């Protein structure tokens, strides 16, 4: 597996962002590493046709759409491949297309995107799988699909024969099985055999409608969406029934069903849940939008997740990166791609996220009027580590909107000494604001956050478990207006002071979980 060069991983594996500035460094560095990734699976062409409706047809009360625009984009495994290429990976695609216009268009776009198509089998008389969506006025009206039906045995056999060679010297393989028929018979059996004794440096990711069929592969990651996870569990997952909690409750069943070392369940508007075989559960929060015509965000998520892990980023960091990439494409109509520049600009947008107290109070007022509960926490958050990320994820789950108040640089110096903070408040705000669980960041320069608490009046005030309510002067301020003080888990032996000490004294990394 390709790794970050010496000195670029942080001491505890979790505070990469805090060391260099995630928003300006990480996407470019991943692209420079350029892991080699093979995508194997069901390649498709997505069509997006739009037009106007001014009449109904005479034969039935059905609208007539006068098509004004046609566009096409790689879909399915092909979409995963172009997203990986756009993020800087060196990508090969293994699949089949027909010798038809759709197949030619798909290959053209793949090659234009920098994807190696030498192992895409061109099959005469085969219909390239195409999914065409018809819309008008921003409203999706209809989708019609064309598919190959049964893929010739000779085409599957030819692809299977090439797999052992294709997988040589790769950092990752992504299996995209959408039930279109390519990943069956000889292709599947050859893949399982070739990857059964794979080296630890070769990451195996399964993105399948039915991950159970790949459990024998023992993949490193399986990435079911909410519907697929529900089918694995034999449950109905309703968005109104607390899907994240249900997924976490059934962690072991999902791990057993997929055979994976870790499962990442994507929950569209509710973000994603990382369920590792060992270590803490990790959640991301999506930035939902009203766009109803976006497609393929799951492919983008898998691509960014794979890229991060193939470059040896911690699993939690890779999941956060994947969520950021998905948040980008879900804001765009059609099937789109997240590039290195897109990701860098998106993360850089958090650099100026710190709001003054007045503007923050106005925004909180709107959230409260909508019935949302406000959670406030505060701290230095100087060199971000896994204790911070675990704590902030727990704080988010106490309410709807999480506000993080950062000590100013002068305040940190007063608390920690003249050699702190390591990172300026601008950098600290950018890193904390980039976490999917954080909604707002502000800065306070008073000895305690009591003035801010009295101005914002959060329903819940959260602090880490190394504090007690009796120790917090701010607890009395919260209780005066009827708020609640929540004391969260404390991660023993993990602190910014300890991290800085290891850096300065050359202690090196300490063993951590893979998450």
Q: Is 299 a catalytic residue?
A: yes
Q: Which two tokens stand for residue 302?
A: 């898998």
pLDDT in tens, 305-353: 999 999 989 898 899 999 999 999 988 877 889 999 888 888 776 655 6
pLDDT at 499: 57
Nearest to 239 by CA among 281, 287, 271, 283: 271
Burial 405-434 (b: 16+ CB within 10 A, else e): bbbbbebbeeebeeebbbbebbbbbbbbbb
Confidence of residue 4 (pLDDT cuts 50, 70, 90): very low
CA atoms within 13 A on the CB side of 152: 14
CB atoms within 10 A of CB 49: 19
Question: How many helices and strands, by DSSP H and E, does the chain display?
Answer: 19, 21
The region, left, alpha or beta by phi > 0 then psi within -120 to 50, assigned to residue 482 is: left
pLDDT in tens, 247-270: 999 999 999 999 999 999 999 888
Residues 408-416, mean pLDDT to the nearest whole number: 88
Residues 432-450, mean pLDDT to the nearest whole number: 89
| Helix residue spans in 150-222 (DSSP H) | 153-166, 185-196
Confidence of residue 130 (pLDDT cuts 50, 70, 90): very high
* 18 contacts 382 by C-beta, under 8 angstroms: yes
Residues 172-192, mean pLDDT to the nearest whole number: 94
Instruction: Label residue 465 exposed, middle or buried (CB < 10 Å: 0-12, 13-18, 19+).
Output: middle
Reported pTM: 0.75
* 255 contacts 243 by C-beta, under 8 angstroms: no
Confidence of residue 436 (pLDDT cuts 50, 70, 90): confident
Residue in the block written with tokens 């893929």: 151
Residues 40-47, mean pLDDT to the nearest whole number: 94
- Tell me the DSSP string of 4-47: PPTTSS-TTSS-HHHHHTHHHHHHHHHHHH--EEEEEE-EEEEE
107, 382, 410, 449 from 443: Cα distances, Å? 51, 13, 11, 10
3-state SS assignment for residue 316: helix
In CATH, what number does 17-349 get? 3.40.1190.20
First to last CA, the chain: 16
Confidence of residue 505 (pLDDT cuts 50, 70, 90): low
Q: How high does pLDDT run on average in the chain?
A: 86
Residues 101-125, mean pLDDT to the nearest whole number: 96
Residues of the chain with CATH 3.40.50.620: 353-505
Confidence of residue 197 (pLDDT cuts 50, 70, 90): confident
Residues of the chain with CATH 3.40.1190.20: 17-349
1, 15, 39, 347, 404 from 432: Cα distances, Å? 29, 11, 33, 11, 8
Q: Is residue 3 over pLDDT 50?
A: no
Confidence of residue 21 (pLDDT cuts 50, 70, 90): very low
pLDDT at 43: 95
pLDDT at 336: 82
In CATH, what number does 353-505 get? 3.40.50.620
Residues 376-390, mean pLDDT to the nearest whole number: 85
CB atoms within 10 A of CB 121: 19
Q: Is residue 231 over pLDDT 70?
A: yes
Percentage of the chain surpassing pLDDT 70? 86
Q: Is residue 63 over pLDDT 80?
A: yes
pLDDT at 240: 64
Residue with the larger pLDDT of the pair 487 and 84? 84
Confidence of residue 291 (pLDDT cuts 50, 70, 90): low
3-state SS assignment for residue 390: helix
Is the peptide bond between 421 and the residue preceding it cis, with omega within 30 degrees of 0? yes
- Strand 282-284 and strand 272-276: the pairing is antiparallel
The catalytic residue among 299, 320, 382, 409 is 299
pLDDT at 350: 62
């Amino acid at each position: 597996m390709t790794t970050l060069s010496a000195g670029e991983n942080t001491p505890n594996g979790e505070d990469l962002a805090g060391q260099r500035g995630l928003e300006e460094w990480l996407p470019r560095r991943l692209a420079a590493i350029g892991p080699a990734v093979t995508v194997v699976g069901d390649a498709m062409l997505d069509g997006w046709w739009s037009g106007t409706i001014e009449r109904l047809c005479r034969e039935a009360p059905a609208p007539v759409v006068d098509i004004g625009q046609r566009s096409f984009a790689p879909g399915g495994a092909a979409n995963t491949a172009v997203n990986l290429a756009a993020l800087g990976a060196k990508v090969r695609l293994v699949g089949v297309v027909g010798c038809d216009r759709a197949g030619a268009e798909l290959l053209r776009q793949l090659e234009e995107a920098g994807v190696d198509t030498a192992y895409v089998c061109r099959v005469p008389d085969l219909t390239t799988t195409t999914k065409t969506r018809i819309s008008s006025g921003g409203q999706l009206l209809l989708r019609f699909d064309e598919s190959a039906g049964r893929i010739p045995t000779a085409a599957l056999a030819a692809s299977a024969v090439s797999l052992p060679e294709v997988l040589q010297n790769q950092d990752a393989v992504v299996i995209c099985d959408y039930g279109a028929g390519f990943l069956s018979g000889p292709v599947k059996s050859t893949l399982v055999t070739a990857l059964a004794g794979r080296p630890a440096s070769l990451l195996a990711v399964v993105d399948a409608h039915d991950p159970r069929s790949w459990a024998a592969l023992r993949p490193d990651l399986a990435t079911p969406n909410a519907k697929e996870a529900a089918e694995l569990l034999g449950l109905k997952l309703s968005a109104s029934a607390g899907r994240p909690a249900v997924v976490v409750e059934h962690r072991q069943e999902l791990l057993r069903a997929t055979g994976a070392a870790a499962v990442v369940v994507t929950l569209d508007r509710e973000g994603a849940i990382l369920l590792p075989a060992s270590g803490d559960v990790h959640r991301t929060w999506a930035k939902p939008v009203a766009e109803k015509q976006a497609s393929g965000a799951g492919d983008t998520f898998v691509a960014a997740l794979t890229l991060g892990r193939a470059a040896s980023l911690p699993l939690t960091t890779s999941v956060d990166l994947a969520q950021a990439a998905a948040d980008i494409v879900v804001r765009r109509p059609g099937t789109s791609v997240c590039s290195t520049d897109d990701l860098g600009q998106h993360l850089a947008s958090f650099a100026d996220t710190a709001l003054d107290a007045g503007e923050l109070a106005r925004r909180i007022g709107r959230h409260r009027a909508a019935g949302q509960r406000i959670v406030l926490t505060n701290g230095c958050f100087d060199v971000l580590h896994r204790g911070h990320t675990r704590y902030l994820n727990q704080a988010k789950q106490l309410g709807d909107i999480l506000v993080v108040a950062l000590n100013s640089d002068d305040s940190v110096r007063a608390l920690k000494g003249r050699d702190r903070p390591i990172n300026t408040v601008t950098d600290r705000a950018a890193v904390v604001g980039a976490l999917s669980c954080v909604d707002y960041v502000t800065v306070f320069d008073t000895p305690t956050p009591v003035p801010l608490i009295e101005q914002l009046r959060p329903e819940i005030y959260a602090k880490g478990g190394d504090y007690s309510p009796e120790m917090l002067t701010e607890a009395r301020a919260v209780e005066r207006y009827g708020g609640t003080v929540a004391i969260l888990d404390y991660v023993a032996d993990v602190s910014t002071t300890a991290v800085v000490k290891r850096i300065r004294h050359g202690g090196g990394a300490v063993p951590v979980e893979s998450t």
